[in-house]
Structure formats: structure tokens, C-alpha cells
Amino acid sequence: MERAQCLELIYPEIEDKLVVTIMGACAQELYDLGHKENFFYLQHAMGLASSIGLGLATHLPDEKIFVLDGDGSVLMNLGTLTTLARYRPKNLVHIIFDNGSLLSTGGFDSHTTSGITDLAAIARGAGIEHVVSVDGPMEFGEAFVEASEREDLSVIVAHVEAVGPDNYGMDFALPENAFRFKRCIAERRAASGS
Amino acid sequence: MTVSYDNSKAVFDGIRAAGIKSISALPETWLGLLLQRAEDDPDVELIQVAKEEEAIGVAAGAYFAGEPHVLLMQNHGFFGAMNGVISLAQLYSIPLCMLIAVRGHWGEPYPWHTRGGIVTEGLLRALNIPYEHARDPGEVGRQIAEAYTFSQSSLSPVALLLTRDLMEE
């Protein structure tokens, strides 16, 4: 299973949701499916995508927040799983694409390579109740639908191949993404009266 | 020396008077009474993190959501949060209003705090983070409001340094 395939599968469901991605391949693959103003791509500061998700979810209870994370990023901020478990935002879906590789920074093996470290077990051990680990697109799709409908924190660890896009680039500067994402949220709040 | 009850209240009241109801923090001795107040205030959303760098992400999320937010941490925690400060907040022009307990300052009896205290201001200057010291309980409320205002207008991290004069008695 490839991450791009997973993203294509869920794109129709997340295109109108608040989405935070990690850097590199994951960000680019979502962008290539079609950028939306409600997408924020964290192109650096590895590990903090889920922390941004927690800040959003806490203050936007009427929104469903999707964080598209990776094994390398989560390994840099394992504490985030314990913070998520403690505050248990009911409107956050944390998807960790585990390719066992630091793909966007040279393709070196990460600690999850060959199943050495089990991120789903870590998430459960952190105290998160709804954690699934999936290997194929059907399983991923089912887990995604369940997580989307569940009114509780969900973590999906999706094992994917270590492949990414051939070309990288977005047509806006990084702060512009932040400004537009913030404005988009303000407009959604105004429209819904929340 | 003990942590000042009255001055912890002055800092908390300053945060609330600035219209801020969202706080991220990692507890430390000087911040203990302050965080207790935050926990006890039903109007305040307090998120305690496992490591300070997480709070930079939480603060960015709160900012995107349109919610005024302050971060409470020790200076050593700020060191651990530094890549988040640079590669999230500064890179994306996201404001941070950081209230930082400065350990290892004049009068510091504990050796383990000293090295961090000695380099704190140099690191803030190296990162172009504007900072001011809070020493007087009568002034700290105004300083918090001004720090928050400046973070928002400059779209930058700013730091208000909570000193021994203010936090101990």
C-alpha cells in the first residue's frame, strides 16, 4: 500500500475538513490532489503536526480535525501521544503513515523499520483507546470511516511503502499558507456562528 | 525561599485581564501556584504538555483557531522548544506569547540551573526574540498585555521573563 493511494481514497472525505500534514512527501501528495484553504502543511518542525491538531481540536469543537503524520515525525515527539491521551480531543483523527523510513530526508531507515518499533502499541500504551494498525487499502478505508464517524480520539497507523512524489513544489510561500489557513478557519467560524 | 502566592495571582490575573483563556504549560516550581489557579478556573483551557516543544504546536493551533493563548515554561524548557519556535512560529509568522520562568539568575542557589540562566538572554537575542523582565507585581499585568499585543502585531514570538524578584518571597 502506498500513502498516495490512501490519500486519494480519503481525499473526498477530507477536502472540506481541517487537515494538518507533516513535511515533504506527505504534504506534496495531498497538495497534488488539489490544495484547499483548509489544509496546513507543516514543512518543518518535525513532530508538531499532532500538537497543532490538539490546539485546533481543543478550540474548535465543531470541526473534525485530521492530522496526517509519519513515523519519523512521531518518533521525534512521542510525548504527543501521551498529551493526546490525557486531553482526549473527541474531534481529532491522527493518521500515522508508517513507511519505516525517513523518506523525505534521504530514505534512511527509521526505528519502525521491519517492525522493530510498533507505533500502534506505543499509542495504546500512551493511553489512547481507539488505535488500529492497518496494512491494506481496504482495511485503511474501513478504519478511516470508523474514525471519521467516531466522536472520540482515533489513531490509525497505516503501514505504507517508502515511496514519494517525483516533483516537489507549491505555489505559495509558507507564511501565506498559515495566513490563508487562519482566515479560512475564521470564515468557517463566522459562517457557522461558532 | 517560597513561591509567592500573591505574585502568582498577579501573573494569573494579568493573563485573564489580557483576555486570555487558553494556556499551554509544563509545570515547574515557580509556575506551580499559577497553574493551580488555571486548573481551578472553569473558563480557562489549560493544556499541560510532556515537553515544551509540543506547546509551540498547541499555541499555533490555538492561534489558527482564533483563540488568544499564552505559553508558560521554564527557560530550560524554552531551550527544548527551540526548533519549534524557529521552524514553526518564526518560519510561518505565527505569534507566541511566552511567559518564561528564568532560573539560574542573580541569587540562584542551585548549581543545575546556572548554565541555562547564563545563556538565556544571549539565546533570545540570537533568535531575535524581543524580551522584557517582569520584576514588579504591580507592573506584570500591563507587561503581559503588552507582550501579547506585540506578539500579535509583529507575528513573532515574544518573551516575558518571570524573575526571582517576582516569583519568590
Identity of the residue in B24, B86, B91 whose CB atom sits nearest the CB atom of A174: B91
Flag whether the pTM goes above 0.90: yes
Task: Report the 3 state secondary structure along B29-54.
Answer: HHHHHHHHHHHHCCCCEEEECCCHHH
Q: Residue A101: which pLDDT band, with cuts at 50, 70 and 90?
A: confident
Q: Compute the mean pLDDT over every residue in chain A, rounded to the nearest whole number.
A: 96
Q: What angle do CA A112, A115, A120 make, to 5 degrees?
A: 75
Identity of the residue in A56, A174, A175 whose CB atom sits nearest the CB atom of B61: A56
Q: Compute the mean pLDDT over every residue in chain B, rounded to the nearest whole number.
A: 97
The residues, any chain, with a CB within 8 Å of residue A65's CB and separated by 6 or more, are A17, A18, A19, A20, A53, A56, A57, A89, A91, A92, A93
Dihedral of CA atoms A19, A21, A27, A29 in degrees, nearest 10, equals -60
The CATH number given to whatever domain includes residue B157 is 3.40.50.970
The answer to whether A69 and A94 have CB atoms below 8 angstroms apart is yes
| Buried b / exposed e along A39-66 (16+ C-beta atoms within 10 A) | bbbbbbbbbbbbbbbbbbbbbbeebbbb
Q: What is the mean pLDDT of residues A133-142?
A: 97
Would you call B65 an interface residue with chain A, using a CB distance cutoff of 8 Å? yes
Kindly report the nearest CA distance between residue B63 and chain A, in angstroms. Answer: 8
Would you call B112 an interface residue with chain A, using a CB distance cutoff of 8 Å? no
Residue B59 to residue A55, Cβ atoms within 8 A: yes
Residue B47 to residue A52, Cβ atoms within 8 A: no
Q: What is the pLDDT of residues B4-23, one digit of tens each?
A: 999 999 999 999 999 999 99
Residue B111, pLDDT score: 96
Would you call B39 an interface residue with chain A, using a CB distance cutoff of 8 Å? no
Phi, psi of B136 (to 5 degrees): -115, 125
Quote the domain boundaries for residue A149. 3-192
Q: What is the mean pLDDT of residues B104-123?
A: 96
Kindly report the nearest CA distance between residue B1 and chain A, in angstroms. Answer: 32
Q: Residue B101: which pLDDT band, with cuts at 50, 70 and 90?
A: very high
Q: Residue B49: which pLDDT band, with cuts at 50, 70 and 90?
A: very high
The residues, any chain, with a CB within 8 Å of residue B39's CB and separated by 6 or more, are B46
pLDDT of A19 higher than 80: yes
Quote the domain boundaries for residue B129. 5-167
The CATH number given to whatever domain includes residue A59 is 3.40.50.970
The answer to whether A92 and A54 have CB atoms below 8 angstroms apart is yes
Q: Residue A72: which pLDDT band, with cuts at 50, 70 and 90?
A: very high
How many domains does the structure of chain A reveal? 1
pLDDT of A11 higher than 80: yes
How many domains does the structure of chain B reveal? 1
Q: Which residues of A touch B66 (CB under 8 A)?
A: 59, 182, 185-186, 189
Residue A104, pLDDT score: 75
By C-alpha distance, the chain B residue nearest A42 is B88
Residue A105, pLDDT score: 77
* CA end-to-end span of chain B: 6
